[in-house]
Amino acid sequence: MLTQKIRFGPFELDTKTGELRRGGRLVRLQDKPLTLLLALVDQPGEMLSREELQSRLWPPPLVVDFDNGLNNAANKLRHVLGDSPTTPRYIETVGRRGYRFIGEVEPVLPLHEPTAITAPAAAAEIPTASSLPRSRPWLAAVGAVVAAIAIALWLGRAAPPAPDTPHIASLAVLPLDNLSSDPEQEYFSDGMTDALISQLAGIRSLRVMSRQSIMRYKDSASSMPAIAKELGVDGIIEGTVLRTGDRVRISVQLVHGPSDTHLWADQYERPLDDVLGLQAEIAQAVAAEVRAALTPQETARLARPANVDAEAYDLYLRGRHFWSLRTEDGLRRSLEYFERAIALAPEFAPAHAALAEAYGPLGYLGYMSPDEATPRMKAAALRALELDPNLVEGWTALGACAAFHEWHWAEGERHFERAVALGPSYSTAFAWYGLVFENTGRQAENVAARRRAFELDPLWVGTSSAYGQALFFAGRAEEGVAQLKRTLELDPDHAVALSYLGLVYAGMGRYDDAIDAFARAGNDGGLGHAYGVAGRREEALQVLARLEQRAAERYVSPHQFALVRLGLRDTAGALDALERGFAIRDPGMSGIKVDPRFAPLAAEPRFVTLLEQMGLAD
């Protein structure tokens, strides 16, 4: 039976947590290669048959392509260890029968913890013996020396870093690895990543990459310098999550990305109902390590996290997982989880804010009628802020509700100003703040806000495509097209990005290109308009009939009908549709002042009156 920690070559493996380190630095290892490694080092020098390994990696009743699966696991493990199948140092292939671990395995003996010292008030920060640097066995017997080392390390945590320590002004938190053998727990590790990002994003002196961009690096083999260059950051946080029973353990390390230099690492463990405290503790530690300047308000926020019911928090994380998919089904499923979380923990403010942020796109994208989405969105946002007046997600949702659902533009702008002040790294707040500027005709401010959102989330289609559209509205059409094409390299079938590109093409008079983009997006309003202005009347009428049939079964935004009617040169029909949309506060109409497709209505008295009623008149 293995001891908990073993060493082979430059590697150290914790067989209980599944964490592999090299030189103190965490090495990312996926589930199957890790399981293979644990099986092999448990019996060093002995051949384990392929059949025995099959039962360990894929226990019944799982049915997989075992041969290829085992070969892939072995190849990935060798890649991580820097091993070779032809000249192995660790993993030897035994004919076609199995594998053998041939490296020298030795236990890592822990240092004895000092017992003769009474810790000062901050004793919780003193490193435990197991977290001290490895030492030779004879040091373990010298209790006084160990005690002195512990005190020195504790004092050193508060001391300023060495002058040559790399400066960290920007951070990316890579997806934390799920160390459980249950793939169903991925939502939990992703949720812990999201929560840590949110905690750090509230520190004004740090620029923190948003979740959508960093999730592209889940299970990535990219090097630290490559990731740092792609995201434009100095520091990278990576680590692992292990949930066992009612406890959670998170191990994290800080790396200077450009130089791939390990700067700091630590491990934290708490009960599930104190998971918010765990997140705040990690954020405080990271802020201290990168010498981030904390305001008194930020210090207070991190110092007093509330407890939350463990089951409610689990439901909240499951809801966040579905919300992040940004599909109609995902958004609707997220509502169910957020509502169940609120039922168990009525005073958990983030769940109320998440509920508001789910109702928003359901209404704005036309998946839910405004009379259903808007009041629920507003109520949830107000309740979140009643519980936590400094919750950035709450102010963001309230700003979106006021601006795009109620057309109270000045009020929405004030809420977004508050949001970006509280969450200077929250890309959604900057993106929606820019949309206020866009819809009210303030395009220079729109470009600035959308650029900031893009800088915080450069690999997310949402922020990247919104920046492209902002460039178009600022009179930089070709730059906008180029930005949108780069965006579609991230996701060629993203409906919103394709719709933005279709709008830009329509505004440039490139109707064939617009038709192609809208057709790929499944955007019937844009498609019908483009068919109409391109002279393809019959096809435009077919789209109109399709919309009318759909509207008989479910909600369809009047804005969609207005676009097709405009393409068919039916001015009266277009105005009728817009007035129906105004009556129900259709969020899809928020941009009609600046959308070039509505330019033919500019001199129509009914349209001028509509803009005045919406607060969009010049």
**DSSP per residue, 49-98:** EHHHHHHHHS-TT----HHHHHHHHHHHHHHHHT--SSS-SSEEEETTTE
Q: Tell me: the pLDDT tens digits for 66-91?
A: 676 788 788 888 888 888 888 888 99
Q: Tell me, yes or no, whether 178 and 302 share the same domain.
A: yes
Q: Which domain holds residue 70?
A: 5-107
Q: Is residue 207 part of a domain?
A: yes
Q: Do 196 and 295 fall into the same domain? A: yes
Place of tokens 């812990």: 192
Do 147 and 177 belong to one domain?
Answer: no
227 with 147, same domain: the answer is no
The three state secondary structure string of 200-232 is: HHCCCCCEECCHHHHHHHCCCCCCHHHHHHHHC
pLDDT-based confidence at 203, cuts 50/70/90? confident
Report, as an integer, the average pLDDT of 220-244.
90
186-190, 357-361, 566-570, 586-590: least confidently modelled range: 186-190
Q: Do 178 and 240 have their domain in common? A: yes
How large is the angle between the packed helices 275-289 and 186-201, nearest 10 degrees? 50
For the segment 93-117, the average pLDDT, to the nearest whole number, is 69
HSE value, Cβ hemisphere, 13 Å, CA-based, for 150: 27
In a domain, residue 386? The reply is no
Distance CA 19, CA 603 (A): 68
Is 411 within a domain? no
Complete DSSP assignment for 493-514? T-HHHHHHHHHHHHHTT-HHHH
Stretch 291-312: mean pLDDT: 79
User: Is a pLDDT exceeding 80 seen at residue 602?
Assistant: yes
Q: Which residues contact 521 (CB under 8 A, 6 or more apart)?
A: 495, 496, 498, 499, 502
Most trustworthy range by pLDDT among 129-138, 268-277, 346-355: 346-355
Q: Read off the pLDDT band of 296 (50, 70, 90).
A: confident
Residues 6+ apart with CB under 8 A from 417: 433
Residue 190 belongs to domain with CATH number? 3.40.50.10610
DSSP letter, residue 48: E
Asked whether residue 414 is assigned to any structural domain, the reply reads no
Q: Which band of pLDDT confidence, cut at 50, 70 and 90, is reported for residue 150?
A: very low
Can you give the CATH number for the domain in which 38 is found? Answer: 1.10.10.10
pLDDT at 154 over 90: no
Pairing of strands 11-14, 5-8: antiparallel
- Residue 275, pLDDT score: 83
- Whether the per-residue pLDDT at 417 is higher than 90: the answer is yes
Mean pLDDT: which of 41-50, 243-252, 309-318, 373-382 is highest? 373-382
Which pair of structure tokens corresponds to residue 100?
């053998």
Instruction: Give yes or no: residues 197 and 236 share one domain.
Output: yes
Q: Which of 279, 307, 335 is the last residue of a domain?
A: 307
pLDDT per residue over 442-471, tens digit each?
A: 999 999 999 999 999 999 999 999 999 999
User: How confident is the model over 375-393, as a mean pLDDT?
Assistant: 95
Q: Kindly report the pTM of this predicted structure.
A: 0.70
479 assigned to some structural domain: no
Q: How many domains does the chain have?
A: 4
| Helix (H) and strand (E) counts in the chain | 26, 14
Residues 180 and 271 in one domain: yes
The one-letter code for the residue type at 94 is: V
Within a domain: residue 449?
no
Last residue of a domain, one of 260, 276, 307: 307
Is 245 found in the same domain as 136?
no
Same domain for 94 and 28: yes
> What is the pLDDT confidence band of residue 147, given thresholds at 50, 70 and 90?
very low
**Preceding omega of 258 cis (within 30 degrees of 0):** no
SS3 164: coil
Q: How confident is the model at residue 165 (pLDDT cuts 50, 70, 90)?
A: low
Domain match, 286 and 264 both: yes
**606 shares a domain with 532:** yes
- Residue 296, in any domain of the structure: yes
Closest-CA residue to 73 (of 40, 97, 45, 42): 40
Mark whether 45 and 142 lie in a shared domain.
no
| pLDDT for the residue 143 | 39
Collapsed DSSP state (helix, strand, coil) of residue 276: helix
Q: Is 199 part of a structural domain of the chain?
A: yes
pLDDT of residue 2: 53
Identity of residue 43? Q
